[in-house]
């Protein structure tokens, strides 16, 4: 039974689902649940689902809830509680923080941040980045997301959009991205990138077992990498190539001490590319060997737990 204890509620808003977690001061999720975002029903309906989800978690808590932390995709102005632009949700300049606060009758303080920055805060508070004041978080999921901690503070930028590497049009004459441009890193370092690479190189490897699958998932591409499939190997090498660039750019510019790799695709593929990346860093950063950044897999893999850390961070300042 939980008594005289403090908790935070984390809410991760995604394009298809909203994840909730009641989290204790050790970063442990006491209970979790998910609901469909159903953003097509309108903003008011989404806010109501968030309020209902928080109320459901309240029934599992006999202690004190200190606040609500929200991770939201897109460009987020955390200081003013605004979602400036969330493409997949269709939100522009929406006061999500205030709307959630009002929907709960002002019962709890509410904090909001970009979802990847919230995950980075989760690693800093409870995960492998604990003790590191300078690190880069790279999320390889359906797309590519990035965040950075600099001198113990999240890097926010002039327009709340730092580390938007996924939509840097980097590859000359590259693949068309969902954003409309060509050659974005999102199309090379993500689950979408793995399947796009398979499609692009398929004709060169007609005898590849992977080439026989009409529409392979990113999971299937990675499984074929493990089996030494020649088509999958080309895609693996391509992933290594662009990850090297990301590590080099961010490591060189930010002088980071740690790279944290998260996301479902990241956890699945990193065992197959980790050694390549470590060897590359040793030879290409102008640092003595003992200062070369280390690479670790994330341990706070629940996005709602990451969002809850916005509350714990606010409590510590």
Locate tokens 């300042």: which residue? 317
Given a cut of 90, whether residue 269 has pLDDT beyond it is yes
Burial of 282 (0-12, 13-18, 19+ CB in 10 A): exposed
Q: What local confidence, expressed as pLDDT, does residue 4 receive?
A: 57
Q: Are strands 82-86 and 75-77 parallel, antiparallel or unpaired?
A: antiparallel
Cα four-point dihedral sign 62, 63, 64, 69: negative
Q: Are strands 153-154 and 135-140 parallel, antiparallel or unpaired?
A: unpaired
Q: What is the pLDDT of residues 183-229, one digit of tens each?
A: 999 999 999 999 999 999 999 999 999 999 999 999 999 999 999 99
Structure tokens, 221? 């591409």
Given a cut of 50, whether residue 1 has pLDDT beyond it is no
Structure tokens, 309? 């850390």
Locate tokens 């065992």: which residue? 271
231-236: long-range pairs with CB below 8 Å, 24+:
231/198, 231/201, 231/202, 231/204, 231/205, 232/198, 232/208, 234/197, 234/201, 234/204, 234/205, 235/194, 235/197, 235/198, 235/201, 236/269, 236/272, 236/273
pLDDT average, residue stretch 90-113: 96
Compute the distance between CA of residue 106 and CA of residue 70 in angstroms, rounded to an integer. Answer: 15
pLDDT average, residue stretch 241-269: 94
Q: What local confidence, expressed as pLDDT, does residue 2 receive?
A: 39
Q: What local confidence, expressed as pLDDT, does residue 138 receive?
A: 96
pLDDT average, residue stretch 111-130: 95
Name all domains of the chain by residue range, CATH numbers in brackets: 6-123+302-316 (3.30.420.40), 132-297 (3.30.420.40)
Compute the distance between CA of residue 273 and CA of residue 240 in angstroms, rounded to an integer. Answer: 6
pLDDT average, residue stretch 123-145: 94
Higher-pLDDT residue of 252 and 102 is: 102
Given a cut of 50, whether residue 104 has pLDDT beyond it is yes
E-assigned strands of 151-284? 153-154, 258-262
Query: Mean pLDDT of all residues in the chain?
Result: 93
What is the crossing angle of helices 264-284 and 191-201, to 10°? 80
């Amino acid at each position: 039974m939980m008594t005289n204890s403090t908790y935070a509620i984390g809410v991760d808003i995604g394009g298809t689902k909203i994840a909730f977690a009641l989290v204790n001061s050790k970063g442990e999720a006491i209970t979790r649940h998910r609901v469909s975002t159903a953003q097509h029903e309108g903003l008011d309906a989404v806010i109501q689902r968030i309020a209902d989800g928080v109320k459901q978690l309240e029934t599992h808590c006999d202690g004190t809830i200190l606040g609500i932390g929200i991770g939201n995709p897109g460009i987020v102005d955390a200081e003013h509680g605004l979602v400036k632009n969330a493409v997949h949700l269709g939100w522009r300049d929406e006061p999500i923080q205030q709307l959630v606060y009002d929907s709960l009758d002002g019962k709890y303080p509410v904090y909001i941040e970009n979802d990847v920055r919230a995950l980075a805060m989760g690693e800093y508070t409870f995960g492998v980045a604990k003790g590191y004041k300078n690190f880069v978080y790279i999320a390889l999921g359906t797309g590519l997301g990035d965040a950075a901690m600099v001198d113990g503070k999240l890097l926010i930028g002039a327009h709340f959009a730092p580390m938007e590497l996924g939509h840097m049009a980097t590859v000359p004459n590259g693949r068309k991205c969902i954003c409309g441009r060509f050659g974005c890193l999102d199309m090379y370092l993500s689950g979408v990138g793995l399947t796009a690479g398979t499609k692009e190189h398929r004709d060169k490897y007609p005898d590849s077992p992977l080439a026989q699958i009409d529409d392979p998932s990113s999971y299937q591409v990675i499984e074929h990498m493990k089996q030494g499939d020649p088509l999958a190997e080309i895609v693996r090498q391509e992933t290594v190539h662009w990850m090297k660039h990301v590590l080099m750019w961010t490591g060189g510019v930010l002088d980071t001490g740690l790279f944290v790799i998260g996301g479902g695709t990241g956890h699945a593929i990193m065992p197959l590319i980790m050694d390549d990346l470590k060897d590359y860093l040793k030879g290409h950063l102008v640092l003595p060997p003992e200062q070369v950044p280390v690479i670790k897999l994330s341990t706070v893999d629940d996005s709602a737990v990451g969002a809850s850390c916005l509350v714990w961070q606010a409590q510590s300042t």
